Amino acid sequence: MTVVRSTLPDEARRVSCEALQDTLVDLLGLSLIGKQAHWNVVGPRFRSIHLQLDEVVSAARAQADTVAERAAALGVPPDGRPETIAGAFSLPAPEEGWLRDSEAVRVLTEALGAAISRLRERIDATEKADLVTQDLLISITAELEKQRWMFEAENFPGES
Amino acid sequence: MTVVRSTLPDEARRVSCEALQDTLVDLLGLSLIGKQAHWNVVGPRFRSIHLQLDEVVSAARAQADTVAERAAALGVPPDGRPETIAGAFSLPAPEEGWLRDSEAVRVLTEALGAAISRLRERIDATEKADLVTQDLLISITAELEKQRWMFEAENFPGES
Amino acid sequence: MTVVRSTLPDEARRVSCEALQDTLVDLLGLSLIGKQAHWNVVGPRFRSIHLQLDEVVSAARAQADTVAERAAALGVPPDGRPETIAGAFSLPAPEEGWLRDSEAVRVLTEALGAAISRLRERIDATEKADLVTQDLLISITAELEKQRWMFEAENFPGES
Amino acid sequence: MTVVRSTLPDEARRVSCEALQDTLVDLLGLSLIGKQAHWNVVGPRFRSIHLQLDEVVSAARAQADTVAERAAALGVPPDGRPETIAGAFSLPAPEEGWLRDSEAVRVLTEALGAAISRLRERIDATEKADLVTQDLLISITAELEKQRWMFEAENFPGES
Amino acid sequence: MTVVRSTLPDEARRVSCEALQDTLVDLLGLSLIGKQAHWNVVGPRFRSIHLQLDEVVSAARAQADTVAERAAALGVPPDGRPETIAGAFSLPAPEEGWLRDSEAVRVLTEALGAAISRLRERIDATEKADLVTQDLLISITAELEKQRWMFEAENFPGES
Amino acid sequence: MTVVRSTLPDEARRVSCEALQDTLVDLLGLSLIGKQAHWNVVGPRFRSIHLQLDEVVSAARAQADTVAERAAALGVPPDGRPETIAGAFSLPAPEEGWLRDSEAVRVLTEALGAAISRLRERIDATEKADLVTQDLLISITAELEKQRWMFEAENFPGES
Amino acid sequence: MTVVRSTLPDEARRVSCEALQDTLVDLLGLSLIGKQAHWNVVGPRFRSIHLQLDEVVSAARAQADTVAERAAALGVPPDGRPETIAGAFSLPAPEEGWLRDSEAVRVLTEALGAAISRLRERIDATEKADLVTQDLLISITAELEKQRWMFEAENFPGES
Amino acid sequence: MTVVRSTLPDEARRVSCEALQDTLVDLLGLSLIGKQAHWNVVGPRFRSIHLQLDEVVSAARAQADTVAERAAALGVPPDGRPETIAGAFSLPAPEEGWLRDSEAVRVLTEALGAAISRLRERIDATEKADLVTQDLLISITAELEKQRWMFEAENFPGES
Amino acid sequence: MTVVRSTLPDEARRVSCEALQDTLVDLLGLSLIGKQAHWNVVGPRFRSIHLQLDEVVSAARAQADTVAERAAALGVPPDGRPETIAGAFSLPAPEEGWLRDSEAVRVLTEALGAAISRLRERIDATEKADLVTQDLLISITAELEKQRWMFEAENFPGES
Amino acid sequence: MTVVRSTLPDEARRVSCEALQDTLVDLLGLSLIGKQAHWNVVGPRFRSIHLQLDEVVSAARAQADTVAERAAALGVPPDGRPETIAGAFSLPAPEEGWLRDSEAVRVLTEALGAAISRLRERIDATEKADLVTQDLLISITAELEKQRWMFEAENFPGES
Amino acid sequence: MTVVRSTLPDEARRVSCEALQDTLVDLLGLSLIGKQAHWNVVGPRFRSIHLQLDEVVSAARAQADTVAERAAALGVPPDGRPETIAGAFSLPAPEEGWLRDSEAVRVLTEALGAAISRLRERIDATEKADLVTQDLLISITAELEKQRWMFEAENFPGES
Amino acid sequence: MTVVRSTLPDEARRVSCEALQDTLVDLLGLSLIGKQAHWNVVGPRFRSIHLQLDEVVSAARAQADTVAERAAALGVPPDGRPETIAGAFSLPAPEEGWLRDSEAVRVLTEALGAAISRLRERIDATEKADLVTQDLLISITAELEKQRWMFEAENFPGES
């Protein structure tokens, strides 16, 4: 029995929801490693990075919610359980333990960069399938590219 | 080199931070399965349960943050990475896919009940080690017991 | 005499404003039948549905305002007078009188579904004519698809 | 079967709810023509009138909600569907298309004046039937008379 | 010695303050049984009813305050002590212990209905004595009739 | 030329607006003497009385605004110019110079009491003329009677 | 049938919930006599005491809610019905009628003092049974001791 | 007996408080004529002028409060009673009755201009006496000059 | 050395950032001339136009910020220095000195119209290069077209 | 090495910063003795004085912050360490232990009076040195004179 | 024809408005180069400097608005057009392109320092002409000196 | 004569209030040296440390208030006068003059560490005497340990 009927044809729904499920995993993973870095960062830039990381976490959590609810709205149940995230998450992430501030900046720049590459592929993939889903992915990309720039700007070496 | 010196003796720190790390995993896992149920619940009580689940998620996220920062404050880096949660999380959780409202209520009641049992053991374990950590665990238990009651009250069968 | 000059060529303006005028009627009608159901719903789910319907009304009213002002901005006066809505509104709607909660859920699911189908046609129709108008229709569709999912999830039969 | 029992005797309920239903139509109609004028007004006083009209719409929407819920509270289902409004609405209203600012002021002054006359008759009619309903109609009249005065003051000719 | 002089003649004061004192008992009692039901309700509608009951309690508390201060303003000290309420309160009320959701809805509908009947008698009784007091009783009745309708609408049987 | 047409017949308008104009003078005068006392009060209860007087002023200013705008809405221009107030104001008022706290309490109790007597006469006078105006005067009386009670309660002699 | 299962063993639950039920009666009674004094206080300190009493009422109401919901969370239905409070309430309380300000201060100091003594016994009694309940009673005691101090400080005789 | 001792020498106090008392009369008078115009203005600019006048009233009321409390702080009781204002107020003011919008703008421009001239004289007069009082008069002048400019800009003739 | 690496290929970055830089100049220039008109406008519509111009300035400033940060996020430093704006700004702008209200409306209508034409070209130019940048330009166009309509509606001649 | 360069010549800086440092000590000391009195006051005016004292503390803390940051801005490091305050503070202050309300009022009146005298000397001293610093001292004096008046008004003997 | 008449004599107006116009250019230029640095800053202190620069921009924008409106209030139209700023702005400013954090701090310290020097000259120049204008320049100087100190404190070399 | 009677036996009161008085001195001292560092810090981390120090000050001030009011509530007058703090304060503190950012971080880490050690002893000392006081000390410790961790994390050396 169909629980939630889709407003899209089958193939369009399949393509869109695959893109949404993959994005969901990236965003939930990003929110978890963002918090991990938020708690473990040490170094002279502790306070700045500690606060900036929490903005990434807030953004990623809100986006994950929108993405998951859009999958549901298209008739496909989203999957954000711990084992699903752990199994599918593939972005660069911090090691266990204390994390030097410069390393936190470096890891986040890379994680955000990788997430953006994957989102840009999904923007292409959903163009035909569903412009509404594509528009959502575009707005997530805009936000993550802004976050990435701020970490990369922070990453620029100081005056020696 | 010690990154953050502890304000506790070694053994007290070990006992406290083990309790905190285990609680962190339970709370992060709870926040993930709470969102999973929030997105996938279906049935005539959809709206009520959908909203109630988000309150559990908000509570669990805020508590996880406090717990992790307390571990850091005691000199032990907390671990909330995806693989750590997936590996250590052991509370009852929903299956993949759409989730009938009565099932969501049942799973959350059980997950909260199991989390509370484990917290009560840690309250005993930390009594000698650190009253500050114990006090934090007491307040988390109070909140989760309130949440559990509300799901169990919701679980009571309707008039047939 | 031209009152408000258009920033679009004639044909593009015609296509865009026709799509906007039709959407305006759908949204104003939706806001009226949403309120009608909000006032007349009865049954054990009264409070949940009563509140959820008011969220549909709020969304539809805000969207109608944006749609009408966009038509004006493109140089075509929008028409939202009572007789225009009554004459052109064609979405499924509740009967007169008290409305059982399950029936309210069913009618809204259908009304939202029909509104979405019509919006998706207009998204196609405006692609060539005006990307700004298309973008507005995309964001309205995203919101209405979210609302429709929540009613359909609510519509799933309870445990017997 | 009686869905919502009345707290009034039959005749008092009939009189009160007829007054409420007629007022509901006037207020919903007023909110629609207020928005129509809000979108279509042009002329050197555009901004002032555009904003003032939105205050009429907000007031009329809030009053319509109170009126409809009072009818329901008295055991009679209110009717605010598009065809009901279109069929019963009889206040002066703007024509289709752009609306000169002085004309918008004139139409609203007349529409509010007509609504007030009809409300004053209903205040008399409900005196015996239900003082609670009468009190509600009195407070709506006070608000509409204030709105009417402001349009009429605006209507006074400028210095030539 | 007169503590607070009345602005009313003696008989008018006596009639008005008797009506106010009786209303005070009803409202304080209503606020107590509303909380009792808020805490003890169980069943599949737990969350909806739990929240709705708190709105009744808030309304009754605010109204009781206004009523008591009006009695004082008329020169008669109001009495809201525990033994006074227990001795004079006569509205239907829940039994001790857990309360099934449908039973909570039924009891509140009846308690509100009884309170409204008594208020309507007092509206008549104070017409001659003090229009200011009457106006206050009218506005309390309006609010309680709205609350009663919502419980009665909730009381309507679901689809079997 | 009629500037603002009245929604009332001539005689009803005359009676209502006379009552409103007289009330306007009382309220503006009350706001001025309330401020006068607020600035000049001295004695061990300075702070309490200083703050309470400002609440009277706020209430009187807001009521004056409503009263004046109602007169305008009925087609009669209100008059609140300094010389009009000085010429017509007849409530008890403080002398020039510092004002002992007990004297401030006494004067305000009397001024409020006199204002209330005059309002109660106008409530009777407007019953036939305009229920909307009467309702406004009733609500002003309720507020002023509350304020008067609080000053009179404050006026009760302390334990010697 | 067990409605809400307890997270405590039977004896611990019995001890905790007895302490909670007794505290609930004290707090609800305190909120009622606090309001009684708030309405009936007279004397030169009227405004100060009138406002301070409302803070006691707010605190007692919020605490009563927490206490009752904790009993429910432990599986025992709380009882806050009018007859239960009247039957079990035993703190000092004001007489009927106007209440001199110094007397209001004296009664509240005593009522709060008695409530605190009883709470301190329950803090001891729940130490073994449930640290979570004990922690709640500790925080209520802290708040009531602060309130008591302020009334006692107010009770100190003035300069003669 | 000195009620409030001054922090200034006698002559400086006399000069400062004379400047403050005169300013108080101007500001209270300005607030009364501002409201008078706010209520009685008519014409095509009704809404703009009606709102702008209320900003003058708010500013004048707040400034009057500061001015009066400064006089008190310097040991001289301020006088803002109706007869004092009526006797001493000498700024240009509107006639009784409806007030054409252009006339309202003209009168306010003149009244503000006159108030500013008088303030500038007092700024000179208080330079020696009390820099704190002078600074207050300077900030009032800045605000009134801003208000005057806006009325004068509004006063510029439109395109004919 | 690359300071901020781009997430786009070289050519796409060049096209996108050229569009963004040109838009930045238009928006910063618009915010400056909007303020210029806000300060210098005179005439009977002063207040309406003065306020409306500030809304244009707020919108343009917020959009400029978003546009500049997007250029930075794509790896190209934005340029908003005074000499850059002065050198490149080419929209219609007000002359030096006082500005009649009708002239202010006319200039803004033209400036917004010119800005919109240029934005629509950039929407086409970025379609291939970067859908994220294009989406940002679309939302800016929507806002500016709404602003332009309101000035043009205001520009319509009044009744003569 | 100069850490923060001054924007003032050497002598002007020396005079200004001496005035600022002395003011800093007065204000920090005032905030400490204000809190001391806030905690220890007893007597029938407890609540009024307790609250009024906290307003003095808030004002003094905010002013101290501004004063210290102004010294830093002028290139001289401010000194607010405990030993500095204790060594240099010379305003009248309360004794150890409970403080009768009338005594608290008396002490604060004197402390504020002394602080004002010293500030008025510094206003003279900084006139030549730095008008910006003088302006800051003027605004602090205005606020403290207002506070002093309120305590002195409170100090006036009650009716015997 | 004089558009806005001045409240100052001709020479005083000329001197004051020249000071205001020059300040306007400095502040608008400062807001532009502040944003330029906000967008282009890179380095390990990115986040701190990025945020601090936005506070300078907010302050400069608000001050520019006050300064321009004061010129208008004195009867001289302010000039803040792009070409005027570019032509007259002479404070130190950042180069085109990415800006190292230490360089951003250095440039802002210098720009603020130069702006302050020029303001201090204008404070002298306006002393005779207009104390109201002088007071405004004093308060702007206070704020900019605070901002300058914070950049200079930030500029102090770290531990090597 | 006993001013405020204690709710504790004599010995328990003595132990508790000694702990509270000592904590009061530590917290007031901490708030003073926190502000001292807030004003005097210099170096590349100025803004981060400047803001973080203000959070310590806010926390310490709020805690000091709670601690002092608890001593009063237990019947012992707290002592927070300048000379008491200066005489008894013994935590590490900054020297006079500008304070390098790394030094500020180091001093605060040590001051917080010392305060925590002393609090932990008092937690032990009050266990028998008063669980309510102990609970307050526990919550203060939790907050200070969190603050200490953040400074220590900030203290970790950067990448060389």
Distance, CA of J98 to CA of L68 (rounded, Å): 12
Q: Beta J41-42 vs E41-42: how paired, if at all?
A: unpaired
User: pLDDT per residue over B45-87, tens digit each?
Assistant: 999 999 999 999 999 999 999 999 999 999 999 999 999 999 9
Angle subtended by helix axes C10-40 and C131-155, to nearest 10: 20
- Across the 160 residues of chain I, what is the mean pLDDT of every consecutive 10-residue run? 88 98 98 98 97 98 98 98 97 97 97 98 97 98 98 90
- Across the 160 residues of chain G, what is the mean pLDDT of every consecutive 10-residue run? 88 98 98 98 97 98 98 98 97 97 97 98 97 98 98 90
Asked whether at least 3 C-beta pairs link F and H within 8 Å, the reply is yes
Longest Cα–Cα distance in chain C:
67
With contacts defined as CB-CB under 8 Å, which chain E residues touch G6? Answer: none
Binary contact (I83, K81; C-beta < 8 A): no
Kindly identify which residue of chain K lies nearest to residue H146, measuring between CA atoms. K73
Count of alpha carbons within 13 Å of D52, Cβ hemisphere only? 29
Distance, CA of B105 to CA of B155 (rounded, Å): 6
Whether K25 and K88 have beta carbons less than 8 Å apart is answered as: yes
Nearest CB partner across the interface for F150, out of G45, G46, G98 = G46
Nearest CB partner across the interface for A77, out of B77, B82, B98 = B98
The alpha-carbon gap from G38 to the nearest alpha carbon of chain E, in Å, equals 9
Whether G116 and G151 have beta carbons less than 8 Å apart is answered as: no
Name all chains with 3 or more CB-CB pairs below 8 Å to chain G. B, E, F, J, L
Residue segments in chain D with a per-residue pLDDT below the cut of 70: 1, 160
Residue segments in chain C with a per-residue pLDDT below the cut of 70: 1, 160
Nearest CB partner across the interface for J43, out of G102, G150, G156 = G156
Name all chains with 3 or more CB-CB pairs below 8 Å to chain F. D, E, G, H, J
User: pLDDT per residue over G29-72, tens digit each?
Assistant: 999 999 999 999 999 999 999 999 999 999 999 999 999 999 99
Asked whether at least 3 C-beta pairs link I and E within 8 Å, the reply is no
Q: Tell me the average pLDDT across J18-46.
A: 98
User: pLDDT per residue over C4-44, tens digit each?
Assistant: 999 999 999 999 999 999 999 999 999 999 999 999 999 99
Nearest CB partner across the interface for J73, out of K123, K139, K145 = K145
Q: Beta D99-100 vs D41-42: how paired, if at all?
A: parallel
- Residues with Cβ within 8 Å of A81's Cβ and at least 6 positions away in sequence, in order, are B32, B33, B36, B93, B94, B96
Binary contact (F39, H80; C-beta < 8 A): yes
Binary contact (L153, B69; C-beta < 8 A): no
Q: What is the mean pLDDT of chain A?
A: 96
With contacts defined as CB-CB under 8 Å, which chain H residues touch I46? Answer: 150, 153-154, 156
Cα–chain-centroid distance for residue G23?
6
pLDDT of residue I1: 61
Binary contact (A7, C117; C-beta < 8 A): yes
pLDDT of residue I95: 96
pLDDT of residue E34: 98
Distance, CA of K71 to CA of K9 (rounded, Å): 14
Whether L71 and L7 have beta carbons less than 8 Å apart is answered as: no
User: Chain A interface residues facing chain L, Cβ-Cβ under 8 Å?
Assistant: 41-48, 50, 98, 100-102, 158
Asked whether at least 3 C-beta pairs link I and H within 8 Å, the reply is yes
pLDDT at A109 over 80: yes
Whether D120 and D141 have beta carbons less than 8 Å apart is answered as: yes
Asked whether at least 3 C-beta pairs link B and H within 8 Å, the reply is no
Structure-token pair, residue B160: 């047939």
With contacts defined as CB-CB under 8 Å, which chain H residues touch F88? Answer: none
With contacts defined as CB-CB under 8 Å, which chain K residues touch L46? Answer: 150, 153-154, 156
User: pLDDT per residue over J65-110, tens digit each?
Assistant: 999 999 999 999 999 999 999 999 999 999 999 999 999 999 999 9
Name all chains with 3 or more CB-CB pairs below 8 Å to chain J. F, G, H, K, L
Kindly identify which residue of chain F lies nearest to residue D156, measuring between CA atoms. F3
Binary contact (J69, K146; C-beta < 8 A): yes
Whether I92 and I110 have beta carbons less than 8 Å apart is answered as: yes
pLDDT of residue F116: 98
Binary contact (A51, K50; C-beta < 8 A): no
Kindly identify which residue of chain A lies nearest to residue K99, measuring between CA atoms. A153
Amino acid at the residue J51: L
pLDDT at L40 over 80: yes
Binary contact (J4, K153; C-beta < 8 A): yes
Kindly identify which residue of chain L lies nearest to residue J68, measuring between CA atoms. L39
User: Chain D interface residues facing chain C, Cβ-Cβ under 8 Å?
Assistant: 3-4, 28-29, 32-33, 35-36, 39-40, 42, 64-65, 68-69, 71-72, 77-87, 89, 93-94, 96-98
Distance, CA of A16 to CA of A32 (rounded, Å): 24
With contacts defined as CB-CB under 8 Å, which chain F residues touch H36? Answer: 78-81
User: pLDDT per residue over K19-67, tens digit each?
Assistant: 999 999 999 999 999 999 999 999 999 999 999 999 999 999 999 999 9
Q: Where are the alpha helices (DSSP H) in chain D?
A: 10-40, 46-73, 82-88, 101-129, 131-155
User: Chain J interface residues facing chain G, Cβ-Cβ under 8 Å?
Assistant: 41-48, 50, 98, 100-102, 158
Distance, CA of B144 to CA of B155 (rounded, Å): 16
User: pLDDT per residue over F9-47, tens digit each?
Assistant: 999 999 999 999 999 999 999 999 999 999 999 999 999
Kindly identify which residue of chain C lies nearest to residue B41, measuring between CA atoms. C153
With contacts defined as CB-CB under 8 Å, which chain E residues touch G35? Answer: 64-65, 68, 80
Nearest CB partner across the interface for L132, out of G145, G148, G152 = G145
**Is the model's pTM score more than 0.95?**
yes
User: DSSP states of chain L as a string?
Assistant: --SS--SS-HHHHHHHHHHHHHHHHHHHHHHHHHHHHHHHEESTTHHHHHHHHHHHHHHHHHHHHHHHHHHHHTT------HHHHHHH--S--PPSS-EEHHHHHHHHHHHHHHHHHHHHHHHHHHHHH-HHHHHHHHHHHHHHHHHHHHHHHHHSPPP-
- Across the 160 residues of chain B, what is the mean pLDDT of every consecutive 10-residue run? 88 98 98 98 97 98 98 98 97 97 97 98 97 98 98 90
With contacts defined as CB-CB under 8 Å, which chain B residues touch L146? Answer: 69-70, 73
Residue D22 CB neighbours (<10 A): 18
Kindly identify which residue of chain G lies nearest to residue B156, measuring between CA atoms. G3
Residue segments in chain H with a per-residue pLDDT below the cut of 70: 1, 160
Percent of chain L whose predicted confidence (pLDDT) is above 70: 99
With contacts defined as CB-CB under 8 Å, which chain K residues touch I80? Answer: 32, 35-36, 39
The number of C-beta contacts closer than 8 angstroms across H and K is 38
Kindly identify which residue of chain H lies nearest to residue D147, measuring between CA atoms. H47
Nearest CB partner across the interface for J96, out of L72, L79, L97 = L79
Residue G83 burial (C-beta neighbours within 10 Å; 0-12, 13-18, 19+): middle
Binary contact (G44, F150; C-beta < 8 A): no
Q: Beta J99-100 vs J41-42: how paired, if at all?
A: parallel
User: pLDDT per residue over A26-84, tens digit each?
Assistant: 999 999 999 999 999 999 999 999 999 999 999 999 999 999 999 999 999 999 999 99
Nearest CB partner across the interface for C79, out of D78, D87, D96 = D96
Amino acid at the residue H84: T
Task: From A97, B114, B4, F65, select the one nearest G5 (Cα to Cα).
Answer: B114
Amino acid at the residue C78: P
With contacts defined as CB-CB under 8 Å, which chain E residues touch C45? Answer: 45, 48, 158
Binary contact (L135, G113; C-beta < 8 A): no
User: Chain G interface residues facing chain F, Cβ-Cβ under 8 Å?
Assistant: 41-48, 50, 98, 100-102, 158
Task: From D125, D101, D99, select the one nearest D14 (Cα to Cα).
Answer: D125
pLDDT of residue B1: 60
E96: left (phi over 0), alpha (psi -120 to 50) or beta: beta
Q: Tell me the average pLDDT across E48-67.
A: 98
The alpha-carbon gap from C19 to the nearest alpha carbon of chain I, in Å, equals 16
